[in-house]
Structure 1
Amino acid sequence: MDFTSPPQSLKDNGYTMAPTDPFDSPKDEMESLVEELKKWKKRVEEAEKAKADLLLCKSSAMEECAKAEDALIKLKNLQEKQHKEAIMSRDTHEKELYVLNQENTELKRQIEKLEEDLAECSLMLSRYSQINKEVAEMKMKFTHMEDMKDNYQDMNTHCVFGVTTKIPFRLDENQVLLTFEDKEVAQRLIEIGKHTVNLDNKTADTRVMPFTLEMGIKFKLYVTISGKKINVSEVPELSIPEDWMRDKLELNFYKSEQGGGEVENVTYDKRSRTAVITFLRPGATNSFVRCTEYPFVVNGTWYSLPISPDTSVKLENFQLYCGISKKTILLEGIKEMEDDEESVQDMIEIHFQKPSNNGGEIEKIKYASKGVTWVCFEEDT
């Protein structure tokens, strides 16, 4: 067979066949496969590199995520801490405000109690005296703690107060009040009657006179603070019988955290919402001295009850006295001067301190240069 000549039929149709080498086709195909393999190898290397880059990015992203989670946890912890601190600070302020309100309430209660005691004293004054006049300002002075007779320790606190009225005196213009340390000096000047006073190279003829003050009042106030009884107020209004309320009060005050002890009696007034707790042991109320509020629990509800010592007040030794000071003189006849009031007062004091002027040591002096001045006298104690 002739391989170099194409078939006659193909020639007739216009096709031309290129000469081929049967050994060239496998070689080209092999080279093509090698080139294709190289391309795929290169792609695999690029893919491996991309994979490595992605793994590196993933690792970096995981580290950043871990750091972000740590930061978020720290931020949450900080927020929780700040929230707790804010709550604690608010609670502290609320507690301080509550304590201040309680102290304010207690002070108001004490003021009301003192006003009631003063009103009671004024009522007793009106009963014991027939003087129809306005009572002057009173001065109350604590004198002593009183012991019971026969060394009987009843654990009550007994206080004695001396109460005296201040007696006002009207000092008119150009008058002087002089109080000496020695009453003999005052009495000697009163006996002389007239006195010439040297004031800054000037002389003033004055009159030395005794003076009489209005009548004063004095009495003793005996206050006894019970060692067995305490007063309870603001007892809650509950729909339970009064006997049950008394029992609950007794149970709450029996062997309480503040002290207390066995309760002898409970007096409860539902209308005024008050109660009086009487303990069996004398001195049991000492543990409640610094306690103004007491916890009271009823049916699982907490109440805060104001408590105070039980006191009794007695007025004795009511007296009317004449407020005359034997050490004080009234001086008239000082003429109006150009010097100021304090300078004139100093000159008068220097003059009457000299023994050569029949004077002596001065305890107090008051000079009214213009207008009217009121001076209050108190009884010497």
Structure 2
Amino acid sequence: MSLEAEDFSLIADDDPAAKLKTLHKEIEKLKAEHSALKQDHQMYIDTRTNNIKYTQEFLQRADGARKRLEEEKMRQDQQIRKEQEKLYELKKEKDKLSIKIQKIQQDLEKMDETHQSLKQQTEVSTAVPEKKVVFNGETTEGGDALSFDVKPHIAYPMEGGMAFITFEEEEVTEKILALKEHEVKLGECSITVQAEPVKFLVPDSVEMDTQVCPRRILVSNIPKKESVDRILDKLEIHFSKTRNGGGEVEEVVMLEDSGNVVITFYDNRIAKGLTDKQIHEVDLDRGKRCKVKVTPFLNGEITLLRTCKTTCSKTVLLTGIPAVMEKDNLQDLLEIHFQKSANSGGEVDAIVYNPMGERTIAVFEEDVSKPE
């Protein structure tokens, strides 16, 4: 009977030494596995501990970040509220400024209207009016100087609640100004007004450079019987005809202050011939030919203007007058009050009252009254 290899192996395994050796190997292997498992377990514990630590740190950072976000949001909300409040205040200020700007624009428009009105009234014609002169024996310095007398015509803008009153005597004006305040009785009530002197800044001397305008003529000695439009039409017709020495007319304007007429031609060669002739017969008075004088029209530029202060000797400015009754009634009562000698007054030559809320222009001219 033959023995096979398997049977031999079984028999060999039954050897105690071999078996012990095998077991020892198994034990060593298990120890190695156990040691590896312990290492893995410790690594797991360490990892878990680190994860817990990192989680706690993350949660702390997250909580800190959340708190910071909340604080930042609160600050942003507060800043937004502040900015909204600023925006609201700025809007209010803008509305106020818009109202102020609108009021200033209205005031500027009124001032511009007043300026244009005053400009129109104070413009001095460059045309020199013809005057009859006579030598009375007097002399003056500056033989080369050419001068012209100008009648004063001062436009004074009157605000509301004021009045101008002119007395016949300067002494009365001085008494009224010395008292400064005056109580004026208006029936059962009374008002207090302030008296102030009327002061102007007026030209003292004016120097001008003048030159003859080649396209314009000044027509004077015009009769006043016809209407202005009719006179202008007849002058334009006459001086537009070549047989009268004229030419095509561009413009015909009457100077209101002097009653003279300025005619402008398109051709700058016409005016010289007309002014050389000077006297022209023109049909102005209902078929009757009138002699008018044609002189050069002067353009001028002011090169020197000196001014001085002057005070009206007979006129007083009354201010602080409330609108307590009708304009005419209040003006009459003011005149009556300042006529009485008991109120330091005297004879009133002129008075004008401008109520509150209104504007007007007072015109001051030369005092032509003769001294006694």
TM over 0.5: no
Structure scoring higher RCO (CA < 8 A, sep ≥ 6) equals 2
**TM-score, with normalisation over the residues of structure 1?**
0.37
**TM-score, with normalisation over the residues of structure 2?**
0.38
